[in-house]
Amino acid sequence: MPSIKDVASLAGVAVGTVSRVINNSGAVKPDTRRRVEEAIQELNYFPNEIARNLKMQRSKTVALLLPSIWNPFFSELAYYIEDELDQEGFKLMLCNSGGKPEKELYYLDMLQQNKVAGIVGITYNDIESSVSNHIPIVSIDRHFDKKITCVTSDNYEGGRLALKELIKAGARNPAFIGSVTSVFSETMNRRKGFVDEAKSLGVNYVVYEKPDPIEDEDAYFDEFFNTHHDVDGIFAITDLLAASYIERARKRGIRVPEDVKVIGYDGIQDHPYFHPILSTIRQPVEEMARMTIRLLFKKFEGGKLGKDVYHLPVQFRQGETT
């Protein structure tokens, strides 16, 4: 009687791939599925129903670990991640950590014990020692030493674009405002691109940062306004921080864009209900989300990925603040 190993050998695939075809679970390329089905027919293979039922108990749930569901960028990302999972018959478990490391550690422990199929994570905390390679994980924006695949936008190019667009709009004393995470994140490359481009153009610039998360935005901006009077261009690390700057600048009688040009990063304010509509570096959110899940499915199959970090291109979107 032929075995599942015989089917895998004839089709030229791994045993796990044959199992996914039989159980109709996980992502399998059409050509691969055809070869497996042909091998099953040729060998007249009948799967062991008891073993098959045990296999079917494998989770069809993927966990998404987010710092906040209130941030529109994370919400949009979650929407497309859920949609991509749904197309493959998987469900999403949303874990909102509030950016707290203790909650992230709790969720990671729970998820690994409950054996979800995989995890997609966004974290800016030092939880390296608790992240395991025993369960498929794809990270967004964050690098881990354990060679966990990372999907991110081209933050460095976004910083360069922002500086160039501020100068093009007439800014002569631009500033980068942001926050510094406790561990390296790709988001820090936004500042690096901004600074490198300013240096290459011989432009005077300011970098203003505080530890992440910013606990008191009023104090943060009070200090900035009191110490940097001549800034006429702002590149904020996120759209939300850019919006906070604009609100406080208006209260001080600073006009945007007449007195100060402002550019954010993310691209979340794309509706006319937002006023003024923010000039921003738009991340390809949908593409990031769908690529993240496709890479996770490749990990389910045991396939090798081409690289550790996948950078997706960004673009400048003109609004009313430059």
Placement of tokens 């924006």 in the chain: 141
**Phi and psi angles of residue 145, each rounded to the nearest 5 degrees, phi first:** -70, -15
pTM (two decimals): 0.78
Taking the C-alpha atoms of residue 133 and residue 140, their distance in angstroms, rounded to an integer, is: 16
Structure tokens at 2: 């032929």
DSSP state at residue 277: P
CB 17 within 8 A of CB 301: yes
Q: Quote the Cα angle for 18-23-27, to 5°.
A: 70
pLDDT at 28: 84
SS3 label, residue 320: coil
Neighbours of 97 (CB within 10 A): 23
State residue 199's pLDDT score. 98
Instruction: Show contacts of 40-45: CB within 8 Å, 24+ apart.
Output: 40/7, 42/10, 43/2, 43/6, 43/7, 43/10, 44/2, 45/2, 45/3, 45/4, 45/6, 45/7
CA dihedral 139, 143, 144, 147 (to 10 degrees): 80
Q: What is the model's pLDDT at position 54?
A: 39
Burial profile 31-59: b = 16 or more Cβ within 10 angstroms, e = fewer: ebbebbeebbeebebebeeeeeeebeeee
pLDDT at 58: 62
- Which range is least confidently modeled, 10-19, 138-147, 251-260? 138-147
- The mean pLDDT of the chain is 87
Top pLDDT among 160 and 130 is at 160
- For the stretch 100-134, pLDDT in tens is 878 878 887 777 776 788 889 877 666 666 666 67
Whether the per-residue pLDDT at 41 is higher than 90: the answer is: no
